[in-house]
Amino acid sequence: MGVVTSSVAAKFAFFPPDPPSYGVKVDEKTGNLRMTGVEEKENVDVVRLKTKRETEIVALYVKNPSAKMTMLYSHGNAADIGQMLDLFSELSIHLRLNLMGYDYSGYGQSTGKPTEQNTYADIEAAYECLKKTYGIKEEDIILYGQSVGSGPTLDLASRLPRLRAVVLHSPILSGLRVMYPVKRTYWFDIYKNIDKIPLVQCPVLVIHGTDDDVVDCSHGKQLWELSKEKYDPLWVKGGNHCDLEFYPEYIKHLKKFVSSVGKSGHLRNGDQTGSTSNSSD
C-alpha cells in the first residue's frame, strides 16, 4: 500500500512541460551557454551543474548590480525556467536581488527524472554554485519555494542555520496531504514539509491564495503557525494556485519582507507578528 501511495504522490508532484520551453547551446563568440527559444535577457548567466545523484541540471543566474542578497528560486511542478525567465527578471529588478532559478532533474534541459530525492540534490547543486562560482555567502541567500518547490526549499533550509530568509509560495504540508487529509506523517509520504519547517532558523514569509483549488490555503496557514521566526503572512484574497504574481500586493509584500530581512539576519522589531495580511493591504 505504501509503495503504491508513494507512486501516486510522485505522479501528482511532477508535470514537466513537454516539450521544454527552451533549448541550450554554446555561444560561438563567447563560449558561454545561452538559452534558445526564449527572449534573451541582459545580465543572465546560463550554467549546467552536476548533482551528487549524477544528473546535470540547467540553472539561470540573473545579476543585479545593486544587489546585496541573492534569491534561490525553486519553481512549481508544471513549469520550467524558460517559462519563468520573465518573472525571475522582474523579481530581480523590483527586489534588487540576484536570482538563481534552476530546473529539476527531468525538467527543461536537465537530465534524469524528477523524483523527491533528485530535487534535493538539484537545489544543493544550485546552492553550491552560488557559493563557489559566485561567492555568495549563506547568510546573504533567501530561499524561495513555490508549490512543490517548497519541498526542496525546506529540506535545504532545515540544514542551513545562517540563511537570510525563506519564502513559501502556495506551499504544501506534504505530498500525501495534498490528496488526503491525513493526521500524521507516513514513511512513504514525500516532501514532509510539516516536519521540517520547525527546524528552519531564519525568518519565514508564507504567501497563499484563499481560493487555491490545488493546495488548500490551510497548508500555508499551518506551515506559518509552525515557523519559528514568523513574518506577517500574505493571504491573497481570491487568489488561486498559479496567479498570485498578478496581484499588486504580492510584489508589495515581498518588497517589504526583503527590506526587513535586508537590515540584518533577523526581522526588525514589529515585523514578527501574529496578524495576517490580505489583498486589502
Written as nine digits, the cell of 87 is: 518573472
| Cβ within 8 Å of residue 262, ≥6 positions away | 68, 69
Out of 80, 122, 212, 216, which one is annotated catalytic? 212
Written as nine digits, the cell of 103 is: 530546473
Out of 75, 169, 219, 241, which one is annotated catalytic? 241
281 is catalytic: no
Q: How far apart are CA 39 and CA 32, in angstroms?
A: 17
253 is catalytic: no
Q: How far apart are CA 76 and CA 62, in angstroms?
A: 19
Q: How far apart are CA 65 and CA 63, in angstroms?
A: 6
| Cβ within 8 Å of residue 188, ≥6 positions away | 2, 3, 5, 6, 9, 176
Question: In the chain, where does DSSP find H-type helix?
Answer: 2-13, 81-95, 116-132, 150-157, 175-179, 193-196, 217-226, 248-262
212 is catalytic: yes
The residues carrying an active-site annotation are 147, 212, 241
